[in-house]
Amino acid sequence: MMKQKSGRLATKLSTAIGLAMIAGTAAAQDCTTRIGAVLPTSVDWGRPIAETAQFVVEQVNEAGGVAGCQIEMVLRDTQVDPKVGVDAAKALVELDGVQLLLGAVSSGVSMPILTSVTVPGNVMQMSCCSSSTAFTKLAEEGKTGGLWFRTFATTGVQAAVGAKVASDQGYKSVAILYKNDDWGQDLNKLIAADFAALGIEVTAEVAINDGQPSYRAEVTSALAGNPDALYLGLYPNEGTAAVREWLSLGGTQNMIMANSLKSDEFRENVGLQYLGNALGTDTASPRVASADAFVALYKERFGGEPNGPGLSNSYDATMIALLAMEAAGKDATGEQIAAEVARVTDPNGTPVTADASGFAAARDVLAEGGSVMYQGATGNVRFDANGDVSAPAVVWKFTESGTEEVEYLSLTQVDDFIASLK
């Protein structure tokens, strides 16, 4: 079933590309360059991430493509499964010959792809959403080859803001349920330390595995310490099952959620009536004109607000990667594309907007040997030496129609709070 859904989406996206190429401007090209995308299209929160990336491709093709060729995004579903993700990435690199790979979302999927596919294959990998600090460590050890970038801030931001929420709410004790993968283990380690730094007792740290028929044993263990609140570092499928067990056993409705649960599926399957005291965290776009411009573009294209997780990050990841391809030139290798990322996110470069006209303007600047300052959905993106970014943060809650912002923390506020924990 999942593979069939993924295939239909891939077909729809390929059809959209074909129509864009036929109905495009007179400048339509007679060559095509493929890029790869490994994203979880078989889950409700993953499809919009893929659709947002495809939206960027449509705009770039409208602007004339990359290095004289139209772009075709070959999309494969990861099913949020490391083995499926690695197999998908191998097919894109070894069979389709892509030099640029977008994805994955989950750190537990991105990591094996990076270490076993893209780094050995000298392919650039740009993730919208993987946040584990394990990538930072790998880069510091020189094991990413400069081929890894992500437009989502590290897990440290979400952990710190989650701890701040608990402190602000006056919780004295918290139990943690976390997904038993690279991302969840990293998040659990960080937020447990942040809770401790704020004097909040962690009564239990319980790992949750995929696909179990029941989580009663794990939930019972988490309930044993009678915590004031529950922290959830889970995805919607196991998150829904675990929270249902938690509530049925008398657990508190005081919950703090990672951004992975910012999902209509989770809200609807648990029930809004049980989530009134639940607060979520996420990284956020800065309060700048380029972020507002993205929201307007998204609403025009999709008919609604970009409320799901990772959408602005997916937009920026795709646009920056394609700008780097443009800067690198036709038939560029993954290493050459990665080397140009700094030139298209140069704080001293010519400012360009994150749309078709901005891409066309960037092409002219780059052709003359200049650099550009990309101004996107998450602001003026800056990568450090490890391919990491910093970001503001937001606290949110569920509403009948989606989510609503409760508190916004600027980049300075986030950095200052993280510093105070140390």
CATH number reported for the structural domain that contains residue 26 in this entry: 3.40.50.2300
Q: Which residues of 210-244 are buried (b: 16+ CB within 10 A; e: fewer)?
A: eeeeebeebbebbbeeebbbbbbbbbbbbbbbbbb
Q: Are residues 406 and 341 in the same domain?
A: no
What's the whole-number mean pLDDT along residues 278-303? 94
Is the pLDDT score of 41 beyond 60? yes
What's the whole-number mean pLDDT along residues 381-410? 94
112: in domain: yes
Let me know the angle formed at the C-alpha of 205 by 229 and 136, rounded to the nearest 5 degrees: 110
Q: pTM for the full model?
A: 0.79
Q: Assign 112 a pLDDT band (cuts: 50, 70, 90).
A: very high
367: in domain: yes
pLDDT of residue 223: 98
pLDDT of residue 311: 95
Domain assignment of residue 349, given as a range: 2-152+310-375
At a CB cut-off of 8 Å and minimum separation 6, what does 366 contact?
323, 326, 327, 343, 344, 372
Q: Which residues of 160-170 are buried (b: 16+ CB within 10 A; e: fewer)?
A: bbbbbbbbeee
192: in domain: yes
- Closest to 162 measured CA to CA, from 419, 418, 420, 400: 418
pLDDT of residue 10: 45
201: in domain: yes
Q: Are residues 91 and 159 in the same domain?
A: no
Place of tokens 């095509």: 32
Most trustworthy range by pLDDT among 112-121, 152-161, 181-190: 112-121
Q: Are residues 167 and 143 in the same domain?
A: no
pLDDT of residue 284: 86
Q: Assign 312 a pLDDT band (cuts: 50, 70, 90).
A: very high
pLDDT of residue 163: 98
pLDDT of residue 25: 40
Q: Are residues 6 and 144 in the same domain?
A: yes
292: in domain: no
Is the pLDDT score of 28 beyond 60? no
Q: Are residues 101 and 118 in the same domain?
A: yes
What's the whole-number mean pLDDT along residues 316-338? 98
Q: Are residues 136 and 159 in the same domain?
A: no
What's the whole-number mean pLDDT along residues 356-369? 98
What's the whole-number mean pLDDT along residues 317-343? 98
Q: Assign 21 a pLDDT band (cuts: 50, 70, 90).
A: very low
**Mean of per-residue pLDDT scores for the chain:** 92
pLDDT of residue 23: 42
Q: CB–CB of 101/77 below 8 Å? A: no
pLDDT of residue 137: 95
At 233 the three-state DSSP class reads strand
At residue 295, φ and ψ (nearest 5 deg) are: -60, -45
Q: Assign 211 a pLDDT band (cuts: 50, 70, 90).
A: confident
Q: Which two tokens stand for residue 268?
A: 């609807």
29: in domain: yes
Determine how β-strand 350-353 pairs with β-strand 372-375.
parallel
Q: CB–CB of 374/319 below 8 Å? A: yes
Amino acid at 267: R
What's the whole-number mean pLDDT along residues 384-408? 94
Q: Are residues 21 and 147 in the same domain?
A: yes
pLDDT in tens, 157-207: 999 999 999 999 999 999 999 999 889 999 999 999 999 999 999 999 999
- Let me know how long the chain is: 422
Q: Are residues 214 and 129 in the same domain?
A: no
Amino acid at 227: P
Q: Percentage of residues in the chain with pLDDT exceeding 70? A: 93
pLDDT in tens, 62-82: 999 999 999 999 999 999 999
- Domain tally for the chain? 2
pLDDT of residue 12: 46
Q: Are residues 201 and 326 in the same domain?
A: no
Q: Are residues 93 and 203 in the same domain?
A: no
Q: Are residues 281 and 415 in the same domain?
A: yes
DSSP string for 355-380: SHHHHHHHHHHHHTT--EEEEBTTBS
Is the pLDDT score of 14 beyond 50? no
64: in domain: yes
Q: Are residues 213 and 82 in the same domain?
A: no
303: in domain: no
Pick 382 or 247 by higher pLDDT.
247
pLDDT of residue 29: 53
In whole angstroms, give the CA distance from residue 240 to residue 248.
12
pLDDT of residue 246: 98
